Amino acid sequence: MQLKLSFVITSMVLLASACKTIEPAQAKPAIISNPSAETTAELTEVISTIYGGRPVTLAPDVLTETNILSIQIAPHEKDGLPVMGAIEEMPRQFQLLKHESDCYLYDSQNDTLYPLDTVQCSLIKMP
């Protein structure tokens, strides 16, 4: 019960803080410069919140080589086997962006920036 309450409070804080005054166009593509279990946990929590609390698994090196992350929700399973049928959801694309010294996860589906507290990022050098 306390875990659910904690999750709800965290979700509300994350979603409320997502309403930042900068526009996505002001931020630039970036990659994570301090990958750790803590940064992966924060990204996992933010993405899970965006998906309404659905579980999400991310690799420890997520967003360290590229600023783009595409996620497709796994197909439904019954008794450990995939249920046949079409996957209804298209992959959702996220981008890691930086504005000034802050890092954000950008959800292109709802055009929202989610501030990241533990993630430090560096701009991608464009050729």
Tokens of 2: 């306390």
Per-residue pLDDT of the chain (127 residues; tens, 9 = 90+): 554 544 444 444 444 444 446 888 889 999 999 999 999 999 999 999 998 998 899 999 999 999 999 998 766 666 777 666 555 667 899 999 999 999 999 999 999 999 999 999 999 987 6
Where are the alpha helices (H) located in 19-77, listed in sequence order? 37-50
With 0.85 as the threshold, say if the pTM is over it. Answer: no
**By the 8 A CB rule, do 106 and 81 touch?**
no
Structure tokens at 44: 């996992």
* CA-derived radius of gyration, the chain: 16
pLDDT of residue 62: 96
Phi/psi for 107 (5° steps) reads: -100, 110
pLDDT at position 40, please? 97
Residue ranges covered by each domain of the chain: 2-71+90-123
Q: What is the pLDDT of residue 84?
A: 64
Q: Classify strands 77-78 and 81-82 as parallel, antiparallel or unpaired.
A: antiparallel
Closest CA to 106 of 10, 12, 20, 16: 20
pLDDT at residue 125, rounded to an integer: 82
